[in-house]
Amino acid sequence: MCFEKDHPYKSIRRCIKHNNQEHIYYDVSRLDPQLFSQLPYCLRVLLESTVRHCNNISIENKHVQQILNWQTNAMPSSELPFLPGQVIMHDFSGLPAIIDLTAMRDAAASLGANPNLIQPRIPTTLLLDYYNIEADVARKIVRKTTDTNHATNLECGYELCPFHQEKTICADAIERNQQLEFERNIEKLQILKWSAIAFDRLSIVPPGISVCQQINLEYLSKLLITEKNKREQITFVFPDTIIGTDPHTTLSNGFGVLSYNMGTIEAETAMFGQPINIRLASVVIGCRLVGQPHFMSTSTDLISALMKYLRLIGLDNKYIEFFGSSLKYVTIADRSSIAHLCVGQGALLAYFPLDDLCLKHFSRTGRDPSFIDRLRDYLIAAKLFSDDVQHQNIVYTDVYEFDLCTVTPSCSGPKRAQDKVSLNSMKSDFQECLTAPPGFKV
């Protein structure tokens, strides 16, 4: 770990001050300034993590050189040991890990050892996102109806609009469904609640709050992690990285938090402080965004057009990083969607580096202003902050340019929802569809 006195890269430790507080970080740009200046941002984050965890056992100097000389890799992708900053699990994958921890404590106690020594080595969060909760109870609307004999009756019907003001039956349907879910899973929830107290670096997000990806985007991603060495009274600071068992973990790549989706075994391995193997691509594509989108174009228009363009390029077994002056027109929500969809198209990683828009986004979503300032200071010092000056030296395998001006507002239908119709031709297309014979649209 980074606290070891005989750390092989102790010489590149540097100090950064903020509000009279000193933090130590690894200035990996000093390894080879020329090669580092050419590295894409996603590889810079990987390099920092590899250097910080280098112990010449599981992570060696050759792995550091593997990243610095990534362009010389002959294979389409090679394996690289990686230890994340935190692990995120959801319900079905996290429960087996908790059972394993509990069984290890029981075995330690039977052998006469201290069971409290069994702890996750890396901060781990378990999310119980019951978004597929059973609907045993449903809200109903009470309506007054009059029959032919002019008698007034009460008729119950299912709710049509969640924003109406009519009196309803079972207005607390959500709470009642959640209560039934708790009663059915009481044993599992009791074990998880106990584990949240028993293990120091394990936190449980209870059900009924939100889905996994939203909690990750708005709360769990720390952006910057600080870890204190009580023995030497120094505090290390380093960028946040995530391993998650939920497929939506890669959404975090949209705002500069390097994230990989892994299986339960890999996540549990990382939880115990053991590096897992990720695939380091020998091809890193740079996608430069230029131009300004149409003022009526929506997020759907932008993402659909960009993904169609990237599919033509081909993303299999490749890294892709986005940059350019027009990134300011792409919101954090759109960036996260693009990063996630690129992985679905075969990319090993799709990454948006941290920039001013990311910092503004997190300052508007409840992050402390002093934390944002500390984050900016670190990113600039570690050369992880995306700007035009840094991008002048970065070398990509290939650079493709996408003009946001080509994104035109469109609508779907009217005969089939999957038909894309430009807003300019909507009137003529609608008239043609009215008079066209039944069948596929020509």
Determine the 3-state secondary structure of 77 from DSSP. strand
Which residues touch 363 (CB under 8 Å, ≥6 apart)?
369, 372
The DSSP code sequence of 205-225 is E-TTS--HHHHIIIII--SEE
Q: Which of 15, 45, 21, 13 is nearest to 370 (CA)?
A: 21
Side chain identity, residue 368:
D
**Backbone conformation region of residue 438, classed left if phi is above 0, alpha if psi is from -120 to 50, else beta:** beta
Does residue 440 or residue 279 have the better pLDDT? 279
Give the pLDDT confidence of 260-292 residue by residue, as tens digits: 999 888 998 999 889 999 999 888 999 999 999
Most confident of the ranges 55-64, 123-132, 181-190, 359-368: 55-64
Does the structure show a pLDDT above 70 at 208?
yes
Q: Residue 259: in which H helix or E strand, if any?
A: strand 258-261
Q: How confident is the model at residue 76 (pLDDT cuts 50, 70, 90)?
A: low
What is the per-residue pLDDT for 168?
Answer: 56
Q: Which of 387, 381, 355 is nearest to 23 (CA)?
A: 381
Angle in degrees, 0-180, between the axes of helices 91-110 and 264-271, rounded to the nearest 10: 50
Identify the weakest region by mean pLDDT among 32-36, 168-172, 202-206.
Answer: 168-172
What is the per-residue pLDDT for 429?
Answer: 84
| pTM (2 d.p.) | 0.86
Query: Can you list the alpha helix ranges (DSSP code H) found in 237-383?
Result: 264-271, 299-313, 332-344, 356-364, 369-381
Across the range 334-339, mean pLDDT stands at 94
Whole-number Cα distances in Å, 428 to 364, 380, 419: 43, 53, 14
Distance between CA atoms of 140 and 172, rounded to whole angstroms?
11
Q: For the chain, give the mean pLDDT.
A: 85
Q: What is the DSSP letter of 256?
A: T
What is the per-residue pLDDT for 179?
Answer: 83
Segments making up each domain of the chain, as ranges: 140-179
What is the per-residue pLDDT for 158?
Answer: 52
Provide the token pair at 6: 């005989």
Answer yes or no: are the C-beta atoms of 144 and 157 closer than 8 Å: no
Does the structure show a pLDDT above 60 at 160?
no
The torsion angle over the Cα atoms of residues 352, 358, 361 and 366, rounded to 10 degrees, is 110
Identify the weakest region by mean pLDDT among 132-141, 187-196, 214-223, 317-326.
Answer: 132-141
Give the pLDDT confidence of 284-335 residue by residue, as tens digits: 999 999 999 988 889 989 999 999 999 999 999 999 999 998 999 999 999 9
Q: For residue 400, what are the β-bridge partners?
A: 287
Does residue 366 or residue 255 have the better pLDDT? 255
What is the per-residue pLDDT for 167?
Answer: 52
Q: Which of 193, 67, 224 is nearest to 126 (CA)?
A: 193
